[in-house]
């Protein structure tokens, strides 16, 4: 007799995406809110945890895969995008979220960042940007202001900061957005949009490091929703991003490039046949 019973999968709430591991971030760290935003986004999209992979490198924010109940990989420094790209190409059915910090993503992983934007594989890259290396005690990172005075860089580095959104845009990212950890619902909405948009989506989330950058408590007063509509015109988006105050939040560019085609052509049946083609 045919089985006529039906099974329904109960809808998951944001907390269902969290693991039992308690985050060891400093009390007040912005990354707590970003974790909440990620969970809210997964719940809103009704994704199953077994269909999600959260991939990271090294740093405070890169601990995030351990705090979710999805598949995850805590990789080596600066290599999160290489891991995430490889995974998405091999398993295009998974939702791949690559997450980490500004030091991991823009210094050690800077080259991977450029080429991940260019390849436009369908994944989301979320960078919790606090303009400092938090885990290793407060060294200036690529996004640190040139005049930020600290014990490790007295008087500041004097080096112009890296502009991740413009670089993402110039390198070919298909969606560019900026959020703020103090607005978990707004950031969750950006993550939803980023996951749904085809191709490589880059979301920078301003996420204060209250331990080494207590000045970033002021970000709450400075952050504001972008006053302009999102655009698919890269030149217009570049002009806006280059000339804004760095605290505009929202989707700043939504491109139309098709995502990298992950369908792999059939491999040769016999590697020996391939080798023979190269015999001199
Ligand atoms: Fe967060 Fe900074 Fe503490 Fe790291 S050092 S957990 S970034 S507040
Ligand atoms: Mg950082």
Which tens digit of pLDDT belongs to each residue from 58-92? Answer: 999 999 999 999 999 999 999 999 999 999 999 99
Ligand nearest to the CA of 130: 2
Classify burial at 272, counting beta carbons within 10 Å of its beta carbon; exposed 0-12, middle 13-18, buried 19 or more. exposed
Taking only the tens place, the pLDDT of each residue in 210-243 is: 999 999 999 999 999 998 889 999 999 999 999 9
| Cβ atoms 59, 101 nearer than 8 A | yes
Average pLDDT of the residues in 179-208: 98
Here the tokens at position 85 are: 């790209």
d(CA 90, CA 122): 12
Quote the ligand 1 centre to 163 CA distance (angstroms). 22
- To test the ligand 1 pocket, which listed residue (59, 103, 135) has its Cβ within 8 A of the most ligand atoms? 135
CB atoms under 10 Å from CB of 152, counted, come to 13
Q: Which atom of ligand 1 is nearest to the CA of 31?
A: 1
Query: Which regions of the chain does DSSP assign to beta strands (E)?
Result: 52-56, 71-74, 95-101, 124-129, 175-180, 201-206, 224-225, 248-254
pLDDT at 266 over 50: yes
Here the tokens at position 160 are: 């112009």
Quote the ligand 2 centre to 162 CA distance (angstroms). 13
d(CA 165, CA 143): 11
- To test the ligand 1 pocket, which listed residue (26, 62, 131) has its Cβ within 8 A of the most ligand atoms? 26
State if residue 23 touches ligand 1 by the CB under 6 angstroms criterion: no
What is the pLDDT, as a whole number, of residue 87?
A: 97
What is the pLDDT, as a whole number, of residue 276?
A: 86
State if residue 187 touches ligand 1 by the CB under 6 angstroms criterion: no
State if residue 60 touches ligand 1 by the CB under 6 angstroms criterion: yes
Ligand nearest to the CA of 104: 2
Q: How far is CA 22 from CA 19, 26, 28, in A?
A: 8, 12, 14
State if residue 133 touches ligand 1 by the CB under 6 angstroms criterion: no
pLDDT at 2 over 60: no
State if residue 87 touches ligand 1 by the CB under 6 angstroms criterion: no
State if residue 132 touches ligand 1 by the CB under 6 angstroms criterion: no
Average pLDDT of the residues in 99-107: 98
Quote the ligand 1 centre to 264 CA distance (angstroms). 41
Q: How far is CA 160 from CA 23, 143, 173, in A?
A: 33, 8, 23
What is the pLDDT, as a whole number, of residue 277?
A: 84
The order of strands in the sheet holding 71-74 is 71-74, 52-56, 95-101, 124-129, 201-206, 175-180, 248-254, 224-225
Ligand nearest to the CA of 30: 1
For atom 3 of ligand 1, the residue with the nearest CA is: 26
CA dihedral 184, 188, 191, 193 (to 10 degrees): -130
Quote the ligand 2 centre to 165 CA distance (angstroms). 16
Per-residue HEC secondary structure of 70-126 comes to CEEEECCCCCHHHHHHHHHHHCCCCEEEEEEEHHHHHHHCHHHHHHHHHHCCCCEEE
d(CA 13, CA 43): 6
Ligand nearest to the CA of 129: 2
d(CA 275, CA 280): 10
Quote the ligand 2 centre to 60 CA distance (angstroms). 8
Q: Is 276 helix (H, G, I), strand (E, B) or coil?
A: helix
What is the pLDDT, as a whole number, of residue 25?
A: 98
The two beta strands, 52-56 and 175-180, are: unpaired
As a whole-number percent, the residues of the chain with pLDDT over 70 amount to 95
Quote the ligand 2 centre to 21 CA distance (angstroms). 22
Secondary structure tally for the chain: helices H, strands E? 10, 8
Average pLDDT of the residues in 183-190: 98
């Amino acid at each position: 007799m045919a089985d006529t019973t039906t099974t329904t999968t109960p809808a998951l709430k944001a907390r269902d995406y969290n693991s039992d591991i308690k985050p060891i971030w400093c009390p007040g760290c912005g990354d707590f809110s970003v974790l909440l935003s990620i969970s809210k986004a997964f719940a809103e999209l009704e994704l199953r945890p077994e269909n999600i992979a959260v991939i990271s490198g090294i740093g405070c924010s890169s601990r995030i895969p351990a705090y979710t109940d999805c598949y995850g990989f805590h990789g080596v420094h600066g290599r999160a995008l290489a891991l995430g790209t490889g995974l998405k190409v091999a398993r295009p059915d998974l939702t791949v979220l690559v997450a980490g910090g500004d030091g991991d993503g823009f210094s050690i992983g800077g080259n991977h960042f450029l080429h991940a934007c260019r390849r436009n594989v369908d994944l989301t890259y979320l960078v919790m940007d606090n303009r400092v290396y938090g885990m290793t005690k407060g060294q200036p990172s690529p996004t640190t202001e040139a005049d930020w005075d600290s014990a490790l860089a007295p008087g500041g580095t004097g080096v112009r900061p890296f502009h991740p959104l413009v670089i993402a845009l110039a390198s070919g990212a298909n969606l560019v957005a900026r959020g703020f950890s103090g607005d978990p619902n707004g950031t969750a909405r950006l993550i939803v949009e980023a996951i749904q948009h085809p191709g490589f989506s880059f979301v920078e989330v301003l996420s204060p490091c209250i331990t080494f950058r207590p000045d970033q408590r002021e970000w709450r007063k400075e952050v504001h929703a972008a006053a302009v509509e999102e655009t698919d015109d890269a030149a217009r988006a570049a002009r806006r991003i280059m000339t804004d105050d760095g605290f505009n939040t929202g989707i700043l560019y939504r491109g139309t490039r098709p995502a990298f085609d992950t369908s792999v052509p059939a491999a040769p049946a016999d590697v020996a046949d391939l080798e023979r083609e190269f015999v001199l």
